[in-house]
């Protein structure tokens, strides 16, 4: 270890000396540096992280070399479970790759992003990133292709797509075997066995496990051997061989304790407890579950911890020890809440990093333009007439207004992101945090277009200034050129101001998402049929449509917020007009009221074009719209969803319907009896 540290210190000194003589590190020296990074990581991921941080701060590298070192940093942050920092780093990495000619380096962005989302338990998002990584892997080498296919298979395993996962693991195992990669062969064999267990092909799984154990014993892969023993015990339990299962799992337990294999400790405790439960030995199962330390979340094994907490609660329920069962369920809830909070923090870190990168690009453009304007102004004062000077002053003044407007808008965006963070904290408290991923992604997508337009318009102003300067230096400047310059610059300025106004409009509409639960007016009693007829009547002629309302059902009164209920129905009517009756000037809306013991069900159905079944689960998602060309942000139905769930304390869903769109709203008879913390 000391020899290696001396070697690394000497190598760093050599790099420092060389960087005083040249601006970039030679390729062969950089390859030696990469090997040193790997050796440092092999000793400790934290040591590897410190090493790459020092390199980024002190070493002169080419852009491509910086990209590679930044990739190592993101990887090490991922391995040390610093997922927020890993997400921020990988966003910076993507921005660096976009400036490079080596576009296949984008593989690192998609691969590590997939790893981050896999660690968070967001498997659909992880699968999308790994699939995006595949074309870049194919352009580089075969090893990366197999690695990416294995990553995709691991995600499919977690998504319970066992058949697809089994096919991929078998292919990867054969590849590793043919290339004498015994460690990868062992790893793939265990994963293949897991997939076969999921498919309930127990004899085939047992055969694969036995083959893997022979390989693991031969090459002393102790951790993999322990995992194989646990899998074997699980298969025997599924086959009803409970005594044999207990024996194998006890062997695994001894191996894990002897070798101090912390990564498998939770798995063996869970599997042994499940076997004891299957034997009907509840007390023994609870005893081994009790050996798990009190709640300290290990994010690397959060799914196993959830299973342990759930099993503990169920066993206590069987014994009618309800206090202990409640405590276990509370621990389950705490683990789940911590996982959701972590997902939200990482997604917010990504959004903030992307916004920061975009803001810096705008600022660089502004500073560059300011320097060019100063140079042009200095040259113009030497030779141009008073008329030319006045024109330049006008141009500078217009540019100043544009820059000032951009600065103010950036401040507004910063405040909006701060509000988004506050909204996120509120959402966590009411267990609504799972939707934050789509919310942040949609907001970033909506903001990208006007921000890109501002950057492009600013670049055009730079080009116009540069052209004016060239004509002046060539003594070809004429009043016609100045007139064209002024017109073009004003057009670009108007484009900047228009985009800024669009940004402001997006922000205002986005604010509608923050449905307040602190209402100005108290709840009151509502006679539903008569109230709905009264509130819907004014919309019989709305947005150029002739609408017939048919309201019928049970005579029932509820206690709730009349204004919010009215706004919900109004939004549904607007949705029908803009989407359902898009090809017609007339429509029919039928509202049916059905009363139950504690709730009332309001069914809203129009006879419009309807909603495709494939997108029913998407329509309440923020920023989802089928009318992208109509300046729709896709927030209306999300606001309706939030109002019904968090203000009216009910439920709303969109149901499949042959003709038109159908929404079912379920509201409590008396919303005052619904505890705020229960929804």
Q: What would the mean pLDDT of 102-123 be, rounded to a whole number?
A: 89
User: What are the DSSP calls for 410-424, one per residue?
Assistant: HHHHHHHHHHHHHHH
Region 326-347 average pLDDT: 87
For residues 111 and 302, what is the distance between their CA atoms, to the nearest angstrom?
22
**Helix, strand or coil for residue 486?**
helix
Lowest mean pLDDT among 18-32, 35-49, 602-616: 18-32
d(CA 54, CA 57): 5
- Residue 215's pLDDT is 94
The pLDDT assigned to 637 comes to: 82
Q: Helix (H, G, I), strand (E, B), or coil: what is residue 10?
A: helix
pLDDT tier, 124 (very low <50, low <70, confident <90, very high otherwise): very high
Tokens for 206, please give them.
């047992």
Whose tokens are 């697809």? That residue is: 164
CA distance 84 to 120: 11
Cα–Cα distance for residue pair 130/118, rounded to 1 Å: 10
Q: Which long-range contacts (CB under 8 A, 24 or more apart) does 418-426 make?
A: 419/511, 419/514, 420/348, 420/351, 421/348, 423/513, 423/514, 424/344, 424/348
Q: What is the pLDDT of residue 669?
A: 92
Residue-wise pLDDT for 248-265, tens only, equals 999 999 999 898 888 788
3-class DSSP state of 552: strand
Give the pair of three-digit tokens for residue 9. 């210190």
Per-residue burial over 120-147, b if 16 or more Cβ lie within 10 Å, else e, is: bbbbebbbbbbebbbebbeeeeeebbbb
CB contact at 8 A, 349 and 417: no
> Residue 445: which pLDDT band, with cuts at 50, 70 and 90?
low
Give residue 10's pLDDT. 43
Please give the share of the chain, as a percent, with pLDDT higher than 70: 80
What is residue 8's predicted lDDT score, i.e. its pLDDT? 44
Q: Which of 128-132, 170-174, 404-408, 423-427 has the lowest mean pLDDT?
A: 423-427
| Per-residue confidence band for 226, with pLDDT thresholds at 50, 70 and 90 | very high
Residue with tokens 């991923």, as numbered in its chain: 437
Give the model confidence (pLDDT) of 475-519 as tens digits: 877 777 778 888 878 887 787 887 787 776 666 655 544 444 445
Strand partners, 665: 602, 652
Contact 369, 462 (CB under 8 A): yes
Q: How far apart are CA 555 and CA 593, in angstroms?
A: 8
For the chain, what is the mean pLDDT? 81
Place of tokens 């419009």: 608
What's the rounded Cα separation, in Å, for the pair 661 and 198?
38
| Side-chain-facing half-sphere of 502: CA atoms under 13 Å | 18
185 or 474, greater pLDDT: 185
Contact 168, 191 (CB under 8 A): no
Say how far apart CA 621 and CA 654 lie, in whole Å.
Answer: 12
């Amino acid at each position: 270890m000391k020899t290696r540290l001396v070697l690394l210190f000497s190598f760093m000194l050599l790099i420092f000396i060389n960087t005083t003589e040249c601006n970039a590190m030679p390729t062969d020296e950089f390859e030696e540096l990469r090997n040193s990074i790997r050796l440092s990581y092999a000793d400790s991921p934290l040591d590897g992280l410190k090493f790459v941080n020092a390199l980024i701060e002190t070493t002169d590298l080419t852009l491509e070399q910086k990209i590679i070192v930044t990739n190592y940093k993101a990887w090490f942050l991922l391995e040390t479970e610093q997922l927020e920092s890993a997400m921020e780093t990988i966003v910076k990495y993507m921005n660096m790759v976009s400036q490079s000619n080596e576009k296949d380096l984008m593989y690192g962005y998609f691969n590590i992003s997939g790893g981050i989302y896999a660690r968070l338990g967001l498997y659909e998002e992880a699968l999308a990133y790994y699939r995006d990584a595949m074309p870049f892997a194919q352009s580089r080498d075969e090893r990366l292709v197999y690695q990416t296919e294995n990553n995709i298979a691991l995600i499919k395993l977690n998504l319970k797509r066992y058949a697809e996962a089994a096919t991929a693991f078998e292919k990867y195992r054969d590849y590793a075997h043919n290339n004498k990669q015994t460690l990868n062969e062992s790893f793939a064999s265990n994963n293949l066995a897991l997939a076969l267990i999921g498919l309930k092909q127990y004899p085939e799984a047992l055969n694969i496990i036995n083959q893997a154990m022979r390989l693991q014993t031969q090459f002393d892969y102790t951790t993999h051997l322990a995992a194989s023993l646990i899998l074997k015990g699980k298969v025997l339990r599924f086959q009803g061989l409970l005594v044999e299962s207990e024996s194998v799992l006890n062997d695994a337990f001894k191996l894990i304790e002897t070798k101090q294999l912390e990564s498998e400790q939770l798995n063996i405790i869970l599997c042994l407890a499940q076997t004891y439960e299957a034997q009907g030995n509840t007390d023994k199962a609870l005893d081994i579950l009790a050996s798990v330390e009190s709640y300290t979340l290990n994010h690397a094994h959060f799914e196993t911890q959830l299973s342990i907490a759930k099993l503990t609660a169920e066993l206590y329920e069987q014994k009618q020890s309800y206090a202990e069962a409640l405590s276990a369920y509370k621990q389950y809830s705490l683990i789940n809440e911590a996982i959701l909070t972590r997902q939200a923090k990482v997604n917010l870190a990504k959004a903030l990093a992307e916004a920061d990168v975009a803001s810096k690009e705008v600022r660089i453009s502004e500073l560059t333009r300011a320097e060019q304007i100063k140079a042009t102004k200095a040259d113009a004062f030497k030779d141009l007439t008073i008329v030319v000077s006045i024109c330049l002053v006008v141009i500078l003044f217009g540019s100043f207004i544009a820059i000032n407007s951009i600065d103010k808008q950036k401040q507004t965006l910063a405040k909006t992101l701060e509000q988004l963070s506050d909204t996120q904290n509120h959402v966590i408290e009411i267990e609504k945090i799972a939707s934050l991923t789509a919310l942040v992604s949609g907001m970033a997508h909506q903001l990208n277009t006007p921000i890109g337009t501002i950057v492009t318009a600013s670049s055009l102003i730079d080009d116009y200034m540069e052209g004016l300067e060239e004509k002046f230096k060539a003594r070809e400047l004429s009043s016609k050129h100045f007139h064209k310059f002024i017109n073009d610059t004003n057009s670009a300025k108007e484009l900047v101001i228009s985009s800024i106004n669009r940004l402001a409009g997006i922000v205002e509409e986005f604010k509608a998402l923050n449905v307040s639960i602190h209402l100005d007016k108290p709840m009151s009693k509502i006679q539903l049929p008569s109230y709905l007829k009264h509130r819907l009547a004014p919309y019989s002629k709305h947005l150029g449509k002739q609408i017939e309302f048919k309201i019928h059902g049970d005579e029932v009164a509820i206690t709730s917020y009349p204004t919010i209920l009215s706004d919900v129905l109004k939004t549904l009517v607007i949705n029908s007009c803009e989407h359902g009756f898009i090809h017609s000037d007339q429509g029919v809306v039928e509202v049916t009221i059905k009363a139950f013991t504690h709730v009332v069900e309001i069914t809203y159905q129009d006879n419009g074009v309807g909603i495709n079944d494939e997108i029913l689960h998407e329509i309440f998602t923020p920023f989802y719209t089928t009318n992208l060309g109509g300046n729709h942000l896709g927030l209306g139905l999300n606001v309706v969803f939030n109002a019904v769930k968090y203000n009216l304390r009910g439920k709303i869903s969109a149901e499949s319907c042959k003709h038109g769109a159908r929404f079912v709203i379920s509201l409590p008879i008396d919303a005052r009896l619904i505890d705020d913390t229960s929804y």
